[in-house]
Structure 1
Amino acid sequence: MLRSAEIDIAFEKEEDAELVMQSLSPETKDKNPRSSVEIATSGKMLKLKIEAKDTPALRATCNSYLRWIDTAIRVNALASKQET
C-alpha cells in the first residue's frame, strides 16, 4: 500500500515559489525505487505531492525535500541581501 503526503508552502512572492520549484525540479527527475515526488506552483504556493512504498521512505523523502526547500529559501535571502 502506497503512503502519500501533500505539502503546501506559502511564499510572500510568486517569484520566490517559482525559484524554489526550479531549484528542486532536478531532484524530482531522479528515479527512486521507493518514492516519487511531483512539484508545482500555484500563485504564491509551492505544492509537493509525495508517494512512497512505505512510511520510512515517505518520512525520509519529506525530510529531504523540506531541508532542500529551507536551503533554497536561505540562499535566496542571502543573494537578495548581497544585491542591495
Structure 2
Amino acid sequence: MMERGYTAFEAFLAPLSEAQLTESGVSGDWSLKDILVHLATDKGALLRFLKKCCASLLRVALIIWHYLSEGRSLPIS
C-alpha cells in the first residue's frame, strides 16, 4: 500500500519542471520543493524518535521478563 502511494506521488511530481518545483508561493514563501524537503526531514526525525521509543520499550520488557522469570516481584510501588 505504501509503495503504491510513493508510485502515485512520483507520478504526480514527474511532469513538473525544476522551475515549477522551486517556484515560491505554494505556501507562503515556500516552494513545493521546500515543503517536500521539510516533510522528508521531519519523517526521518520521526522515524528515529520511534526507533528510540521502541528500543526503550524493549529494554523495559526485558527487565520485566528477567524479574518475572526469576520469580521475583517487580520493584514497583
TM-score where L is the length of structure 2: 0.45
Which fold has the larger relative contact order, with Cα–Cα distance below 8 Å and residues 6 or more apart in sequence?
1
Structure number with bigger Rg? 2
Per residue, is there more helix in 1 or in 2? 2
Per residue, is there more strand in 1 or in 2? 1
